Protein backbone atom coordinates (compact mmCIF):
# COMPACT_ATOMS: atom_id res chain seq x y z
CA UNK A 1 0.00 0.00 0.00
CA UNK A 2 1.31 3.45 -0.87
CA UNK A 3 1.15 6.51 1.33
CA UNK A 4 -1.52 9.12 0.59
CA UNK A 5 -0.40 11.86 -1.75
CA UNK A 6 -0.20 15.35 -0.35
CA UNK A 7 1.10 18.22 -2.42
CA UNK A 8 1.47 20.82 0.33
CA UNK A 9 1.20 20.68 4.10
CA UNK A 10 -1.62 22.77 5.55
CA UNK A 11 0.88 25.15 7.12
CA UNK A 12 2.23 26.16 3.69
CA UNK A 13 -0.95 27.00 1.85
CA UNK A 14 -0.78 30.14 -0.23
CA UNK A 15 -2.77 33.12 0.95
CA UNK A 16 -2.31 35.26 -2.17
CA UNK A 17 -1.39 34.98 -5.83
CA UNK A 18 2.35 35.56 -5.41
CA UNK A 19 2.59 32.88 -2.71
CA UNK A 20 0.64 30.49 -4.93
CA UNK A 21 3.06 31.15 -7.80
CA UNK A 22 6.06 30.54 -5.52
CA UNK A 23 4.58 27.31 -4.12
CA UNK A 24 3.75 26.09 -7.63
CA UNK A 25 7.30 26.83 -8.79
CA UNK A 26 8.73 24.92 -5.82
CA UNK A 27 6.39 21.99 -6.43
CA UNK A 28 7.46 21.57 -10.06
CA UNK A 29 11.12 22.20 -9.26
CA UNK A 30 11.04 19.30 -6.77
CA UNK A 31 9.39 17.09 -9.39
CA UNK A 32 12.27 17.73 -11.80
CA UNK A 33 14.48 15.87 -9.35
CA UNK A 34 11.95 13.03 -8.98
CA UNK A 35 11.42 11.52 -12.44
CA UNK A 36 9.99 8.36 -10.89
CA UNK A 37 7.13 10.42 -9.46
CA UNK A 38 6.36 12.00 -12.84
CA UNK A 39 6.45 8.56 -14.47
CA UNK A 40 4.01 7.36 -11.82
CA UNK A 41 1.58 10.14 -12.71
CA UNK A 42 1.71 9.23 -16.41
CA UNK A 43 1.41 5.48 -15.88
CA UNK A 44 -1.53 5.76 -13.49
CA UNK A 45 -4.68 4.02 -14.79
CA UNK A 46 -6.70 7.25 -14.88
CA UNK A 47 -4.07 8.86 -17.16
CA UNK A 48 -3.74 5.96 -19.61
CA UNK A 49 -5.28 8.00 -22.42
CA UNK A 50 -2.11 10.12 -22.50
CA UNK A 51 -0.08 7.20 -23.85
CA UNK A 52 -2.69 6.07 -26.41
CA UNK A 53 -1.65 6.74 -29.97
Question: What pTM did the predictor assign?
Answer: 0.48
Q: Which of the four pLDDT bands, split at 50, 70 and 90, describes residue 51?
A: low
* One-character DSSP codes across 13-36: --SSHHHHHHHHHHHHHHHHT-HH
Q: What is the pLDDT of residues 18-50, one digit of tens each?
A: 999 998 898 888 888 888 887 887 787 777 776
What does the angle CA 43 – CA 46 – CA 51 come to, to the nearest 5 degrees? 50
Integer CA distances (angstroms), 40 to 2, 23, 28, 44, 45, in order: 12, 21, 15, 6, 10
Amino acid sequence: MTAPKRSLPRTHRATNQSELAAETHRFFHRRQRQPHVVTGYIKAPHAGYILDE
